[in-house]
Structure 1
Amino acid sequence: MTAPAVPHQDRAVIVDGVRLPVRLLTPPGPAPDAPRLVFLHEGLGSIGLWRDYPAALCAATGLPGVVYERQGHGGADPLTAWPRPVGYLEHEAEHVLPRVLDALGVARFVLVGHSDGGSIALLHAALRPAGLLGTITEAAHVLVEPITLAGIRAARQAFVQGDLRAKLARWHGRNTDGVFWGWNATWLTPPFPDWTMTDRLPAIRAPVLAIQGEGDEYGSPDQVARICAGAGGPARPLMVPDCGHVPHHQARDAVLAAMTEAIRDWTGAPAR
């Protein structure tokens, strides 16, 4: 299913001297002060790897969207070193994301985060920002499981011996090695298996929709169970059958419908 055409503008913001590309999506109709959907990509993600899903969700809800790339991804400035610090997700949630939102003048928003982006979304939600209306996560991690590490080891083999590097190069260009090792080497660093953010979940007050594929190769259903049990506000799980780590592509119609319904409930956006 192809998304309706949604006008967009590509630009960049600078955070701590680092250039981060941004795509602004503006479907026809929303008021200037309408809340925005803020998309946070996965650990190997980019603007391009979302494909047309952000445009489809913006069209379905009638709300504008913001998609940006973190340092080392896509066309952003490259990482300077890896492995990253164990607290790199917290840094993105507590330091980088607020500065991106400020630079773009985003006052009210819904977070839509996939994998690493989902974890960043939850960590940011735990700060209780005044303009946050709700958080949607897909395949977010709140702790490291054996299945997570097994999936990351398999990805390393596919990158070194298979065709994963060539596939990523299409989206990341000069950043291909940095984006992969900045994710893979970090999660396989000896201190990282002890990382958890479950202690942050009770601070979340805005509503949460936690989505995960039943066949996710990087996490068990316990991730969603912990998110929903630990969140301090309303939280709803959605386990998607016959689906792996990328629900918005692998079960697009069902995920698009669930996200659209949640966003309408949280923002008052009319049915389209």
Structure 2
Amino acid sequence: MVAGEILLAEGRLETGWWGPAAAAAPTLVLLHQGLGSLGLWRDIPARLAAATGCGVFAWSRLGYGRSDPVRLPRPFDYLRQEAQSVLPRVLEAIGLQQGVLVGHSDGGSIAAIHGGTVEDPRRRGIAVLAPHFFTEAAGLAAVAETRARYEQGDLRARLARHHRHPDIAFHGWCDTWLHPDFPAFFDLRPDIAGLRVPVLAIQGEADPYGSPAQLELLARQAAGPVQVMLLPGIGHDPLLEAPETVLPALRAFTDRLFAVR
């Protein structure tokens, strides 16, 4: 990994790059989950670069990892702000030529919002893993269980190994999703209706945070082609839980778009 940073008006982002530079090959832009960070991708970026022949770029969003903190509470539209304000500036900063957004969980929602609402011809497709487009009672219950593990178990100590400000990372995510007014606010159907680029959508059937109904909605609402993969026995992190399935799927997806290998 080549470590780096991006300086925005809001603060500093920690970044990492694997494989070819943006001028030499297409770039896969990784968008992490609600408690994720640059480091929590583990060896996935290197494996993606090797499998696809693409460059891979990832960063910790503000409030996560070693990036600068944010002020809490987060606004309900924090995912749209990331997709429509922060992400375009990050793509400019890295000199993106052409690429694919690869988003996990919250990152998948950000990728879908960007794909459906921001005009950018460099974005040739998006891949979403366990994304959220609306709230579900079971998913909110899983968030509440995670809060209990944070307050009463070892989750805070584990997150502190990966986040400089673990309380900001955790409460910025948890407190927003569990706010009683958030379910009525959070509806990404208007955003994904504008998706015209090819989409690869992957969901674990055992995901406690979201059901296959999330991908069913995406397939109905998106204006462009959507390939749906449901993985039996897999939970919320298909890339880490089933890399032997997901990495080849991402390789086939990028091959169709770019034929880089």
User: TM-score band, normalised by the shorter chain?
Assistant: over 0.9
- Cα–Cα, structure 1 residues 86 and 254, in superposed 2: closer, same or farther, change >3 Å? same
Deviations 1:21-41 (A, max 9, x none): 1101125xx783421000000
Deviations 1:190-225 (A, max 9, x none): 221121101111211110001000000000110011
The separation in 1 between residues aligned to 2:23 and 2:92, in whole angstroms, is 16
TM-score between both structures, scaled by the size of structure 1 = 0.93
The separation in 1 between residues aligned to 2:66 and 2:4, in whole angstroms, is 11
Match of 2:86 among 75, 78, 96: 96
Q: Counterparts of 1:58-207 in structure 2 under 5 Å?
A: 58-82=49-73, 84-126=74-116, 127-173=118-164, 175-194=165-184, 195-207=186-198
Shift of 1:9: 1.1
1:210 and 2:201 correspond: yes
1:37 and 2:25 correspond: no
The separation in 2 between residues aligned to 1:226 and 1:106, in whole angstroms, is 30
| Aligned sequence identity (%) | 43
The aligned amino acid for 1:135 is: I
Equivalent pair of 1:128/1:204 in contact (CA under 8 Å): no
1:253 and 2:247 correspond: no
5+ long unaligned stretches in structure 1: 1-7
Equivalent pair of 1:85/1:186 in contact (CA under 8 Å): yes
Secondary structure at 1:94 match in 2: helix
Match of 2:8 among 4, 11, 15: 15
Equivalent pair of 2:23/2:97 in contact (CA under 8 Å): no
Shift of 1:73: 0.3
Q: Counterparts of 1:208-247 in structure 2 under 5 Å?
A: 208-247=199-238
TM-score between both structures, scaled by the size of structure 2 = 0.96
Shift of 1:134: 0.7
Runs of 4+ in 1 over 3 A off after TM superposition: none
- Cα–Cα, structure 1 residues 31 and 159, in superposed 2: closer, same or farther, change >3 Å? closer
RMSD, aligned α-carbons: 1.2
Secondary structure at 1:23 match in 2: strand
Equivalent pair of 2:126/2:199 in contact (CA under 8 Å): yes
